[in-house]
Structure 1
Amino acid sequence: MAPGGISTRQKSCNACVKSKRRCDKQIPSCGNCLKRRFPCSYGGKSAMQSHSNSASGSSSGSVASPPAVYESSSALHNGFSAIFDMDLDFPDATLHFDGALESLLNSMADNQFNDTDKLSGLLGRDAQTGPSSTSKSLSRIDYSKIAPVCDDFEPWQLTDPSTRICYIVNVLKNFHTTFAQYKSTIYMHGQLYASNPPRWILQAFATCVLYTSQTAATRGFVLKILQENVNNLIHTASGTSFTPREKLARVHALMAYQTIRMFDGDIALNQQAQNDMPIMEAWNEELRKIRDNLNDVFELDMIELRKKQPESWERWLFAESVRRTYIIGLALRTFWDLLRDQGDESDFGNWEYIHRWTLSRHLWAAQNSFDFWRAWNEKPMWVINAFCFDEFLRTGKGDDIDDLALVFLVLSFGLDEVKTFCYETSRRLLE
């Protein structure tokens, strides 16, 4: 019999079950929860879940559906810069959510999922001005699936490909390489800067290409170009009087430079990256102020979601890139602090906000408006709310997972578990 008279087979507390830790079953709080200042409860719903349900029930949002505009492929050549060379603000807000699944495979076998967190999102809706909420609602318990990656980190794990931290760090350290090879990353679409690319993007791309192809004879010259381009970026892109497109471009450029300097191995470059971290954080925070965080329609089901077509492929692509970039910017700083042993468990920072993005390999992979609209009408899509994958795991398949979702699924459940999910649901083999 669990505390409170609730009959259950579960002996360990809810938090220890979710984080897969050994529970000493002490009452009113076990040793792990007491040490980490987690709410401790046994069986049934925790206080966090009850609060989440009440919060979800009191939230609502509705937006008139924008007209469905079928964009021709020619819009690609002159649409992005014209659409986003104006100063726009997007509302931001927060929403409480329930904890993650007990485990990926148990979720697949037992089919036990939360119903309080429904699909949400008006993907790429028209830009609207409005008050921006600054309240924060998430705590460590909400990241119980991800937190152990940081809490249990040991340097040797970086050499073991089977560990979550090794997988994630390898993704982060190769952003500049991916950019040089494909002019895209998991947060920056390859067609985002197809027309009239900002000079900062051109300089960053050229630097990444030079760096990835450097030799011992050219290294000194390449690093000189790197430093001059970083200095030029910081000198010309500082301030707030920039268009949304320019604000996004400067973050993309600086993140490319940062990943080079953070993971090069040269102590001087490492220190330069550390010195410029406050600038990257400040610029990334500007993205939070302009992003469309998909607040207004979080209770839509899949059928209703399809009816909320974005005004254009270009607008959706830009808005989605902003959402993804902001999240990766936070992750880059968090793991950098972890590797430097500079993390502060008591400071949750902007992870306390609700962050949302669209999980859809089909939408993100679209290279033109025709492919995008076809995917919008025929392929599944999910809006991930606060890293809760319940709805996706219940209805999605491995073929639906894009590279950004793959990162956070591995963080939440482990690489082998995600590989198993992809293979069992769609016969997709991950590298």
Structure 2
Amino acid sequence: MPAERTRASNPQGRQKSCSECARGKRRCDLQQPACGRCSRLSLTCTWPPSPHSHASSTTTTAETSPANNDGTLESMPQMETPSSWPSVDISDMPASLDTTLFDLGFNLSPTLYDFDGSMDAGTTIALPPLSISTPSLKLPSLLGFSTMAESRIGYSMKQWEKAPLMMVRENCTYWSHSKLYEECMPQSMADAYATCALSMARNKTNARFIARHTAEKAYELAAKTLPTQPIEVLARGHALLLYMILMISSGDIRCFAQVQNLLPHLETSATSIFNLMTPTEEDSIASLPTYPASIAQTAWTSFIFRESCRRTLLVICHAMAACRVMAGDVTSCSHELAAGNRVTISAALWNATSAFEFAKVWNEKRHWLVKDLDFKDVLEGAEAEELDVFGRMILIGTLGIDDVRGWLHMRGAEL
């Protein structure tokens, strides 16, 4: 303490703060007649009375405190506060906070989760409230799939869960080609892509925010007018699928309730995609020239869009059937959208990385054209490696996982 300060002015001896600083557990600068903190806050700077006798209080600090050689008192050491621990004086804070100080640029206007269920007359989509606060519940185990249902959709559900990460890292899914949006990505798909990237950072702290953001984006897309451009029609279906997968994979049953509300819009997208597809003579082209490259490039571009449409339609039908099973609907599946559908089962064609490679595979390898989900030719003549993950998903959905495992085993492969 300063040399001029005596025990008479600080009777307790060991106390290094005035009464106000001691009460607020704040460091006191020991200034006289009032410390800096008391002066700044207009407080009365006082020191507590001595617990000892009056006689002891008159004893000077020179009798008990160490002194320097020049007779002045030795300063008491003070513990330094690290610079990373700023001193915050809560007594300085106002009773109420000005919330405009915390405006970080977020839109704090009422969202769909602030509604109590009553909607304007012009609203066409019901938006139930979403709350994510309870531990995750794995839906399959919760609802108790039958053995047959599990054998047909269990494998696909595991693959669906990988789709958001695939989209972020590889710009594709098992039903959306990596080159499909290379030139231009519609806004609906760009929003879904960003939501997938956001979901990759999900943890216990931000899970509720991400779930709400996902639902908001899904409802926002569902409320928009149906597009007419083919690439936008397909992108809408892809985006709704990704939102549905993110909601299901969150593991919370209340997110699953949001999925049920999206199913009619997903079915509308399936119908729109179905209307894009017509039988094409390109499926029966015997060979493609590797030169000039423009011919192969045109054929490859057409294949990418055509097969992305075909695969997406089948995945949507499969996903809707799975959601109905999870909701307890055990009625038979509707095949109206699948009827007349055709899809090329060829991992080598789908995985080609250039027009030249695509043309070579087209000319040198057999590509299996499946019509109306009839896999008879595939089961009789295809090799295991010719079926990629998508082909196995659809085959398992049609036959069941045990039959597919047996078929792969006969060809020296495993699922």
TM-score, normalised by the number of residues in structure 1 = 0.56
Partner-residue secondary structure (3-state), 1:205: helix
Whole-angstrom distance in 2 between the partners of 1:204 and 1:385: 31
Query: In structure 2, what is the equivalent of residue 225 of structure 1?
Result: 213
The number of residue pairs the alignment matches comes to: 269
Detail structure 1 runs of 4+ shifted over 6 Å in the superposition. Answer: 158-162, 307-310
From 320, 333, 348, give the equivalent of 1:333.
320
- 1:320 deviates by 0.8
Whole-angstrom distance in 2 between the partners of 1:257 and 1:288: 20
Q: Deviations over 1:235-257 (max 9, x none)?
A: 4x4234x2100111111011100
- 1:217 deviates by 1.4
Query: In structure 2, what is the equivalent of residue 373 of structure 1?
Result: 359
Structure 2 unpaired stretches of 5+: 1-140, 290-294
Query: In structure 1, what is the equivalent of residue 384 of structure 2?
Result: 398
Contact residue 170 and residue 178 of structure 2 kept, 8 A: yes
Whole-angstrom distance in 1 between the partners of 2:315 and 2:368: 19
Partner-residue secondary structure (3-state), 1:384: strand
Query: In structure 2, what is the equivalent of residue 211 of structure 1?
Result: 199
Contact residue 398 and residue 428 of structure 1 kept, 8 A: yes
Distance 1:293 1:422, change over 3 A: same
Q: Rg bigger for which structure?
A: 2
Contact residue 161 and residue 167 of structure 1 kept, 8 A: no
Query: In structure 1, what is the equivalent of residue 171 of structure 2?
Result: 183
Whole-angstrom distance in 1 between the partners of 2:146 and 2:173: 22
- 1:158 deviates by 7.4
Whole-angstrom distance in 2 between the partners of 1:333 and 1:289: 18
Contact residue 180 and residue 209 of structure 1 kept, 8 A: yes
Distance 1:352 1:325, change over 3 A: closer
Contact residue 164 and residue 242 of structure 2 kept, 8 A: yes
Query: In structure 2, what is the equivalent of residue 168 of structure 1?
Result: 156
Q: Deviations over 1:400-430 (max 9, x none)?
A: 11222111222344435434433543x4443
How does 1:219-368 map onto structure 2 within 5 Å? 219-235=207-223, 237-240=224-227, 242-294=228-280, 305-306=286-287, 311-345=298-332, 348=334, 350-351=336-337, 353-368=339-354
Whole-angstrom distance in 1 between the partners of 2:363 and 2:399: 30
CA RMSD in angstroms, aligned pairs only:
3.1
Structure 1 unpaired stretches of 5+: 1-152
Amino acid at match of 2:352: A
Contact residue 307 and residue 343 of structure 2 kept, 8 A: yes
Contact residue 151 and residue 396 of structure 2 kept, 8 A: no
Whole-angstrom distance in 2 between the partners of 1:352 and 1:198: 26
Contact residue 292 and residue 323 of structure 1 kept, 8 A: no
Contact residue 399 and residue 422 of structure 1 kept, 8 A: no
Q: Greater relative contact order (Cα 8 A, min sep 6): structure 1 or 2?
A: 1
Distance 1:193 1:219, change over 3 A: same
Q: Deviations over 1:255-289 (max 9, x none)?
A: 10011223423233222221121111112211111
Distance 1:363 1:165, change over 3 A: same
Distance 1:368 1:388, change over 3 A: same
Q: Deviations over 1:356-386 (max 9, x none)?
A: 1001000001122122111111111010011
Whole-angstrom distance in 1 between the partners of 2:390 and 2:373: 11
Partner-residue secondary structure (3-state), 1:383: strand
Whole-angstrom distance in 2 between the partners of 1:258 and 1:383: 29
Whole-angstrom distance in 1 between the partners of 2:406 and 2:193: 35
TM-score, normalised by the number of residues in structure 2 = 0.58
Q: What percentage of aligned pairs have identical amino acids?
A: 23
- 1:222 deviates by 1.8
Whole-angstrom distance in 2 between the partners of 1:222 and 1:337: 25
Amino acid at match of 2:214: L
